[in-house]
Amino acid sequence: MFQHQITHFFDLVAGIPHPNRDGSNRLQIALECKPCEQLDLVPEPDNPSDSNAIAVLRENGQQVGYLPTELAAIVTYEIAQRWKYVAFVWSLGDDTPPYTVFGIELVILRISPGTTDAEVRAYIDETSDWRATNTRPSPVAVSQTPTPAVCVPTRQPGVWPHPAS
pLDDT in tens, 155-165: 543 444 433 33
Confidence of residue 19 (pLDDT cuts 50, 70, 90): very high
Note the pLDDT of residue 77.
93
Residue 116 to residues 5, 30, 129, Cα–Cα distance (Å): 11, 31, 23
Q: What angle do CA 7, 133, 14 make, to 5 degrees?
A: 70
Alpha carbon distance 84, 93 (integer Å):
27
Indicate the CATH number for domain 6-153: 3.30.70.2330
pLDDT value at position 126? 75
Own/partner long-range contacts of 114-119 (Cβ < 8 Å, ≥24 apart): 114/4, 115/2, 115/3, 115/4, 115/5, 115/6, 115/84, 116/4, 117/153, 119/2, 119/3, 119/4, 119/6
The C-alpha torsion from 93 through 107 and 12 to 68, rounded to 10°, is: -160
pLDDT (0 to 100) of residue 119:
86
Q: Are 38 and 153 in contact (CB under 8 A)?
A: yes
Say if residue 143's pLDDT is above 70. Answer: no
Q: What percent of the chain stands above pLDDT 70?
A: 70
Domain locations along the chain: 6-153
Which pLDDT band, with edges at 50, 70 and 90, does 71 fall under?
very high
Contact 152, 121 (CB under 8 A): yes
For 100, residues 6+ apart whose C-beta sits below 8 A from its C-beta are 94
Least Cα distance to 6 among 89, 105, 127 occurs for 127
Average of pLDDT values for 70-95?
88
Question: Across the chain, what does the average pLDDT equal?
Answer: 77
pLDDT at 90: 85
- On the question of pLDDT at 129 being above 70, the answer is no
